[in-house]
Structure 1
């Protein structure tokens, strides 16, 4: 399987943590969390293939290739067995990584993501990518922002950064990411996971429903589920403080959510 060398940023020292961002964003869209966690962790923020400073592959690839890229990056940056946190698309990549390389992941934090895409939804997700290739990245921005944030937050300056990042993406990278998402189905294998896991849901997530997050948590043995009040899909930006606190508590071994 072809892999690409991912761009990453390492901060801090201590226990290891890898951060995997949503589709269309990059490693700079984590709010204050990396700096906060760097006091106690060695944090590796990665740009997934085709986004930020990471190159695209030679052709469209399944989600397993995105996970293989992350595996290669973890080794290249000298990490041994990190906790892995993924949000949205990053959470799907994190699940795939943990299933394909169970020896590599010490803890799993899955935020705003399902365990699989229903067959009836796959063509609509592929079309989300194809629309950008036909009409340009500008065309997908309004509906994406609507899915990602609550109406009361859309005038926040961080949302304008998100808009600019989306507009600046390669339509091909966006489309290939949605193709990978459309084929994602980890649910049949999640029962094999044996690492501590936290599923984080946003109460107001319009992209991944709290019910989908609950199903994911119920499928992973002994996973805990934390639902963040008022949080949308981009919980790490709109509810940054609560998100960071929840993640930090789990990483520190403090009780979070429900089993």
Structure 2
């Protein structure tokens, strides 16, 4: 499987933690989380293939290829066997990484994501990519912002940054990502995972329902489940403090 050399930034010292961002964003959309965790961890923030400063692959790829990119980056950045934290698309990639490359992962934190996409939902998700192919990235920004944030937060400057990031994305990368998401279905295999796992759900997540996140947690042996009050899909930005507390407690063995 062809891998892409991902752009990444490493900060801090200690046990390894890898951050995998949502579709359409990049390594810089984690709020205050990296600054907090790098005090006692070695944190690697990656740009997924086709995102940020990472190149595209030569062809549309399945989610397993995105996971293989991350596995190669873990080795290239000498991260050892890190905990991998992914949000939305990043959370699906993190699950896939833990399944396909179990020797590369010591813990899993999957946020705002399901364990698989039902057959009936797949055309809707592919359409999010195809809409950008037809109308450009500007065509998908309003509906994406509506899905990702609560109405009370959309005036925040960080949402402006998200809008700019989405508008400047490569259409091909956006569409490729949604096609990969549409075919994601890890649920039947999640029972084989043997690493400490935390599933984080936003109570007001309009993209991944709390029920879908709870089903993901139930499929992983021993997984812990956290539902964040008032948190939307982009919980790491809108409810940053609560998100950091939840992740930090899990990493410290308190959750």
TM-score bucket (shorter structure): over 0.9
Match of 1:59 in 2: 59
Q: TM-score, normalising length from structure 2?
A: 1.00
Structure 2 matches for 1:73-84, cutoff 5 A? 73-84=73-84
Matched residues in 2 for 1:125 and 1:213: separation? 18
- Secondary structure (helix, strand or coil) at the match of 1:109 reads strand
Deviation by residue 1:132-160 (Cα, 9 ceiling, x = unmatched): 01100000000000000000000000000
Cross-structure match for 2:121: 121
Report the equivalent of 1:140.
140
Q: How far off is 1:103 after superposition?
A: 1.2
Partner of 1:226: 226
1:153-168, aligned counterparts within 5 Å?
A: 153-168=153-168
Matched, 1:50 2:44: no
In the alignment, the residues of structure 2 paired with residue 125 and residue 78 of structure 1 have an alpha-carbon distance, to the nearest angstrom, of 35
CA distance in 1 between partners of 2:15 and 2:176 (Å): 33
User: In the TM superposition, what is the alpha-carbon distance from 1:167 to its structure 2 partner?
Assistant: 0.1
Q: CA deviation at 1:6?
A: 0.1
Distance 1:208 1:123 in 2: 16
Q: What displacement does 1:104 show?
A: 1.0
Q: Deviations over 1:68-112 (max 9, x none)?
A: 000000000011100000000000000000000111111100000
Offset, 1:189: 0.2
Q: Distance in 2 between matches of 1:57 and 1:189?
A: 27
Secondary structure in 2 matching 1:84: strand
Query: SS state of the match for residue 66, structure 1?
Result: helix
Q: Deviations over 1:216-250 (max 9, x none)?
A: 00000010000000000000000001101100010
Partners of 1:52 and 1:165 lie apart in 2 by 9
Partner of 1:12: 12
Q: Is it true that 1:108 corresponds to 2:108 in the alignment?
A: yes
> Runs of 5+ in structure 2 lacking a partner?
none
Structure 1 gaps, min length 5: none
Aligned to 2:210: 210
2:244 corresponding residue in structure 1: 244
Where 1:17 maps in the other structure, the secondary structure is strand
* Equivalent position SS for 1:113: coil
Q: Which 4+ stretches in 1 moved above 3 angstroms?
A: none
Q: Which residue of 2 aligns with 1:186?
A: 186
Q: Take 2:83 and 2:140, find their aligned partners in 1: how far apart are those partners? A: 32
Partners in 1 of 2:217 and 2:45 — Cα distance?
24
